[in-house]
Each structure stands twice: as structure tokens, then as C-alpha cells.
């Protein structure tokens, strides 16, 4: 039971670190983080749309964030680095934050959902679903979904093939939740089967074997010209020439 408790405690701590870093790096376009434990300490890598805002001037911001994580969550020998997200349009966390930011700036929820959906599909995603829930037009709660492409809603394919990101938009009527689920461009569905080409078997006949053996024998029988043999040939050619000169 102690091992299970330690695993649960570590899992809860990782979720808390994720939420803390996401709040601190919202302006930089937070795209996720990975935590790896090494013999020398703990390594945290932050993926962001603009990693320069995470690092700060001369590394001051990332140093301050490292000290906060060590003090608040009890990490020792913590190393934090920031990397750039190459294709941010396929990152659900970044796109969910963009939808929430658009709603906070006064965009209509239909305009925000459709524009971000088109942007994600143009980036090469196989499918996308954007869910916006909250007090959208009045005092009553509503849920609107924007779908495009292929979507998996449940089962193992939904866990393996779909990347999910969540964000919140704080407006005067209340908080609006945004959920973005993206299917990766290289996702392979269970129903997709690739048929391999049949392998042609070569049947060796006695005649073919005899031809191969004769070819190998002819290769081995070829004489190898050595410097001594060349010298003997040149001497044999010179002897008749001298005889002819003496007769003349």
C-alpha cells in the first residue's frame, strides 16, 4: 500500500506542477510539459509557443520559476528548460487558450470556434472538435460543439489518437469553458489496414543450379596475372626480336 500511496502522491504533485506552470506561462503560449526523474535530480521541459517569454531576460524568469517549484513542491536539484512548439496549430492546449483569449476580447463564440477549427484543419489535423460551454448568449447555460474531420469519442482509440486541451475564459456573465480535441495527422485508425505485397518464392531447378556452379567455376579458373608472369612474357617477346636482328 505504501508504494501505491507514493505513486498517487507523485501523480497529484505532477498535476499541481502542470497547473502552476500553465498559469505562470499563459502569455508565452503554454503547450505542455514533461517531467523526468534522473539520478542527478528532476528535469522539467516546458513546451511553449514563445519560449523567450518563459526564459526572460538573461534567464531571470526561468530561474525564478525553478526556485518556486523547488520551494513549493519539494523538488531537489531541479532543472527547468523551455523549448519551442514547432506546429502550435496542432497543440490543443495552445489552441484552447487562443479560443478563450478570443472570447475574452469580445469575439462571438461562433466566430471564435469556426475560425480556430479551420486553422487547425488547415495545419493538417485528421479531425478536430471544439466545445464551448457556459453562458454564451443569455443567463442560461449552453454547450456548442464545432466538429470537422474524423473524431473518436470513446475507447482506446480516443485515448491514444486524440490530444485534449482545456482552457477557461472569464467573462462578466461567468466562466466559459473551452475544450479542444485534435486527432494527430499521423494517426492510424484501427480500421485502416495496409496490405503487404506477396513475396515471390524462387524455386531452384537442377538446370539453374548447374549453371550457377559452372559460372562459379569459370570465375575461379581465371589466371591471376602477377608481376613475375608479366616479366616472363616480356622476356619471351624480346628473344625472337634479337634473333631476327642477328640474321640481318
Which residue(s) pair with 175 in the sheet? 170
What's the average model confidence in pLDDT over 183-196? 85
Domains and CATH numbers, the chain: 2-86 (3.30.300.20), 89-183 (3.30.1140.32)
**Nearest-angstrom CA–CA distance, 9 and 14:** 9
How distant, in Å, are the alpha carbons of 21, 86, 130, 149, 245 from that of 126?
A: 29, 18, 14, 6, 92
Contact (CB, 8 A) for 225 and 234: no
Cα dihedral sign for 173, 115, 47, 183? Answer: positive
**Strand 142-149 relative to strand 162-170, pairing:** unpaired
Least confident of 73-77, 101-105, 151-155, 204-208: 204-208
Cα dihedral sign for 150, 153, 154, 160? Answer: positive
User: What is the reported pLDDT for 187?
Assistant: 86
Rounded to 5°, the CA angle 116-121-123 comes to: 100
Would you say residue 209 has pLDDT above 70? no
Please give the residue that has the higher pLDDT: either 107 or 26. Answer: 107
**Nearest-angstrom CA–CA distance, 89 and 119:** 7
How distant, in Å, are the alpha carbons of 46, 78, 170, 200 from that of 99?
A: 21, 33, 12, 55
Please tell me the chain's helix, strand, coil percentages from 3-state DSSP, rounded to the nearest 5: 50, 25, 30
Would you say residue 59 has pLDDT above 60? yes
Band (pLDDT 50/70/90 cuts) for residue 129 is: very high
**Nearest-angstrom CA–CA distance, 44 and 61:** 15
User: What is the reported pLDDT for 24?
Assistant: 86
Would you say residue 192 has pLDDT above 90? no
**Nearest-angstrom CA–CA distance, 131 and 112:** 11
Which residue(s) pair with 162 in the sheet? 183
Would you say residue 83 has pLDDT above 90? no
CB count in 10 Å sphere of residue 55? 20
In this structure, what is the dihedral angle of CA atoms 41, 46, 47, 53, given to the nearest 10 degrees? -140
Amino acid at each position: 500500500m505504501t508504494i501505491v500511496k507514493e505513486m498517487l502522491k507523485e501523480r497529484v504533485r505532477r498535476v499541481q506542477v502542470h497547473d502552476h506552470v500553465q498559469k505562470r506561462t499563459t502569455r508565452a503560449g503554454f503547450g505542455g510539459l514533461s517531467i523526468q526523474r534522473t539520478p542527478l535530480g528532476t528535469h522539467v521541459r516546458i513546451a511553449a509557443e514563445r519560449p523567450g517569454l518563459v526564459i526572460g531576460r538573461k534567464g531571470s524568469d526561468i530561474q525564478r520559476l525553478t526556485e518556486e517549484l523547488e520551494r513549493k513542491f519539494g523538488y531537489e536539484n531541479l532543472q527547468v528548460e523551455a523549448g519551442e512548439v514547432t506546429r502550435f496549430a496542432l497543440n490543443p492546449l495552445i489552441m484552447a487558450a487562443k479560443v478563450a483569449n478570443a472570447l475574452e476580447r469580445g469575439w462571438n463564440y461562433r466566430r471564435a470556434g469556426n475560425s480556430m477549427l479551420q486553422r487547425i484543419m488547415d495545419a493538417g489535423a485528421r479531425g478536430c472538435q471544439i466545445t464551448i460551454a457556459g453562458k454564451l448568449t443569455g443567463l442560461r447555460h449552453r454547450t456548442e460543439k464545432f466538429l470537422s474531420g474524423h473524431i473518436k469519442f470513446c475507447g482506446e482509440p480516443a485515448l491514444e489518437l486524440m490530444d485534449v486541451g482545456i482552457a477557461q475564459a472569464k467573462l462578466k456573465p461567468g466562466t466559459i469553458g473551452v475544450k479542444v480535441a485534435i486527432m494527430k495527422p499521423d494517426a492510424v485508425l484501427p480500421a485502416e489496414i495496409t496490405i503487404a505485397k506477396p513475396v515471390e518464392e524462387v524455386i531452384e531447378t537442377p538446370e539453374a543450379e548447374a549453371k550457377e556452379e559452372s559460372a562459379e567455376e569459370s570465375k575461379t579458373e581465371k589466371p591471376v596475372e602477377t608481376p613475375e608472369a608479366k616479366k616472363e612474357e616480356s622476356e619471351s617477346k624480346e628473344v625472337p626480336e634479337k634473333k631476327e636482328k642477328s640474321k640481318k
